[in-house]
Amino acid sequence: MSPARAAAPVLLAVLAAACGRSAPAPTPAPEGPTPAPPVAGEIAPEPGLAITLVPNLPGVEGDDLPDLARREVEILEAEKGRLRLRWTGQVRVEAPDSARRREDWVRARANAPRGATPEPTVPAVYERKEVSGTLFFPDFGRATEFLLPGLWPEGSVTIPGATSLWISANALAELKGGGRASVPLATSAPALREPAATFLKRAIDLAVRAPADRPGLWTAGPAARFGLVVDGAEASVTTLGARDWFAGYAVLDGGGPPLVLAALPQQASTTPADPLAPALRSLLGYRIAEIARSKAAR
């Protein structure tokens, strides 16, 4: 028998066995990261609610931001259309001794004889300083103007005619129903933080010159998911996007009070180029990174 004929019965047997064998189970695809669970309940302004704010810098994760960039907020009062909150944080300032040494160095250099060997530069020494403010919004329940946290003043200050962190329920209803709502940015409150207040007023002046950019008008954008930490756990909430001449916003759309979770200043295409845009982005942009509700609200 030729080798080809001898191999034929073996090949047929292999094919027959293969036809009767079930196909191997497919290898399961690797699972992606588990999505954060949605938040149960509302995030309403109430005493004991704690909020952590961080700068809203594109491409920078919250964990990569220094502690100096964080602001801790606690709601002290929220009733009868009023809101009282306390914020705390840290800033970097030059130490008094360092400032005096550098003043002496400047004075000595100015009075040195011509041709004298200049004294080495005295480096500045910085230290951390605690800053805080207690803000009272008597018109929180009916105000339409929105005060950005980057403008919050230090000390105990009453800010009439404005709200902050939350916009009104009517504004959210108008955004969802008609696609736009009137939410002017508050700039006339007393003792606003500088230089951020000056930068914002400068941006407003530029926007007024552009007919297509109407200050105070928010237009609705697409819905999106927003990740943050709620009550110590990673969570996800539904937000409605919005935009005005100054920034893009993420507004909580969970059936409760519309908390503005993020604001990202951006350069409007219809306004002249503003050299202060980077400063506005770092000083006035914010994102809520963490929320801790009272046990009664969970």
Looking at residue 38, what DSSP letter applies?
B
Q: CB of 248 within 8 A of CB of 32?
A: no
Q: 97-137 pLDDT, tens per residue?
A: 988 998 988 888 888 888 888 888 888 898 888 999 999 99
CA dist 75 and 63 (Å) reads: 24
d(CA 168, CA 66): 32
Domain ranges of the chain: 40-93+125-297
Q: Which residue has the tokens 């009767």?
A: 20
pLDDT tens string 21-59: 433 444 444 444 455 566 655 688 999 999 999 987 666
Model-level pTM greater than 0.85? no
Maximum mean pLDDT: which of 10-14, 119-123, 164-168, 184-188: 164-168
3-state secondary structure of 166: strand
CB 247 within 8 A of CB 266: yes
Residue length of the chain: 298
